[in-house]
Amino acid sequence: MGFSRKLMLAMAGASLCFALPACERVKEVAADAAGLPSDKNILFWTDEQRSKAFRMMDILTPSRTIEAGVEPRILAQGKSLPAEFTVDGKTLSVDQYMDDQRAAGMVILHDGKIRLEEYRMDFGKDDRWTSFSVAKSLVSTMVGAAIKDGFIKSIDDPLTDYIPELKGSGYDGVTVEQLLTMTSGVKWNEDYDDPKSDVALFNNTKPVDGIDPIIVYMRTLKNEVEPGSRWQYNTGETNLIGVLVAKATGKTLSEYLSEKIWAPYGMSQDAEWLLNEGGKEIGGCCISATVRDYALFGQFAMNGGKIGDKAIVPDGWFAKAGTKQEDIGIPGRGYGYQWWTFDDGSFAAQGIFGQGIFIDPVRKLVIASNGNWPSASPDTHKNQRIAFYHAVQTYLDSEEGEAAAGSGDATN
């Protein structure tokens, strides 16, 4: 039986869940028949399961649509980039790089034009792929939009002003900014290989008395150090940022993202945002969208969060959000408002298993890519990807130098 036929069975099984009491069992049988995972914990799926599931997460899990507008933004085609680059002193073809990265798609924009667009793994430009933690950078941008709209007064406000259910927890005294920079001081375990870690357990929490399950889990955590005194990566806190935005605006995250950016900026397609056990968007993860639309979001961020002449976020938001606010212990690197930063002024959204948006405002460069790394966050793949970013930057510098030299020759 072909994969498409198995997928149809899985979809049929999932749809039957609306009518059958044995819903979960039906979904598991259908997923197994299609070679798809029925285990909810993505960290422990097989490579084959990830490759199939990452492109159809909204079929396997409840989701909410992020609606696109009626007029998609047209991306002009620029001069093609070369088929190979010098990466870490060695010649590496784009084909080999994508193979090494196990990349399903990559789009490179330069000055708003497509310089490279490549797809692999039976994946195409109209297909969606899950973002994982790339969503964190989108959620932090929505905080900026909520401040601009007056729903959130200031990033200096205590978090409990907006999420009072956290009073009496480790989040007493933690500000919105400290949540954005992951400096709450709350004890947290982000070990992707540990099935008993916080990051492996928190999304399985059920609602209690109508309270969002992420609040139910996070309010059990204890403060470990003084807020603002330590940086520690914490996916649960980005989920809290999502709760903050939803509570402050009175809108779902999908609705607000569509209203502020997805529709007016001209994303090519609707996207899907996976929901937690309480039917709320998972703020720290899991937007399914096309690679082009990830690249377009990078372009939006690079342009300072403006759509035409209209500012969606406060003036200077990305100048701060995309620059080092916290030291992460890696030379030349840092952390902003849910963005990974580089000391040369570039910044990036990154998700486990190979998802990413790299933004270099100086060179007007955006690189969006997705894939299926062999594990959540292998150093070899992360380092090669950063080296590739640098290789593209170096090539653009040389291209600009050649153009300047040619212009000089023409005037002599």
Residue from 366, 390, 382 nearest 294 by CA = 366
Answer whether 244's CB lies under 8 Å from 270's CB. Answer: no
Residues 108-147: tens digit of each pLDDT: 999 999 999 999 999 999 999 999 999 999 999 999 999 9
pLDDT digits (tens, 9 = 90+) for 336-382: 999 999 999 999 999 999 999 999 999 999 999 999 999 999 999 99
Query: Are residues 57 and 180 located together in one domain of the fold?
Result: no
Using only C-alpha atoms, what is the Rg of the chain?
A: 21
- Residues forming a β-bridge with 91: 86
- Residue 51 covered by a domain: yes
Please give the tally of structural domains in the chain: 2
The answer to whether residue 104 is domain-embedded is no
Distant-in-sequence, close-in-space partners of 270: CB < 8 Å, separation ≥ 6:
65, 66, 67, 68
Render pLDDT for 90-112 as a digit per residue (tens, 0 to 9): 999 999 999 999 999 999 999 99
103 within a domain of the structure (yes/no):
no
Helix (H) and strand (E) counts in the chain: 14, 15
In a domain, 171, yes or no: yes
Q: Using an 8 Å Cβ cutoff, are 35 and 50 in contact? A: no
Let me know if residue 29 belongs to a domain: yes
Q: Are residues 185 and 46 in the same domain?
A: no
What would the pLDDT profile of 192-210 be if each residue is shown by its tens digit? 888 889 988 887 889 999 8
Q: Which residue has the tokens 């028949």?
A: 33
Q: Is residue 186 part of a domain?
A: yes
Question: What pLDDT is recorded for position 30?
Answer: 44
Indicate whether 91 belongs to any domain: no
Tell me: do 328 and 199 sit in the same domain: yes
Q: Is 77 inside a domain boundary?
A: no
d(CA 187, CA 167): 16
- Angstrom distance (rounded) from CA 23 to CA 34: 17
**Residues of the domain holding 237:** 110-397
Last residue of a domain, one of 62, 79, 95: 62
Residues 352 and 280 in one domain: yes
**DSSP-assigned letter for residue 277:** T
Q: Mean of the pLDDT values across residues 53-72?
A: 95
The structure's pTM equals: 0.90
Contacts of 329 (CB under 8 A, 6+ apart): none
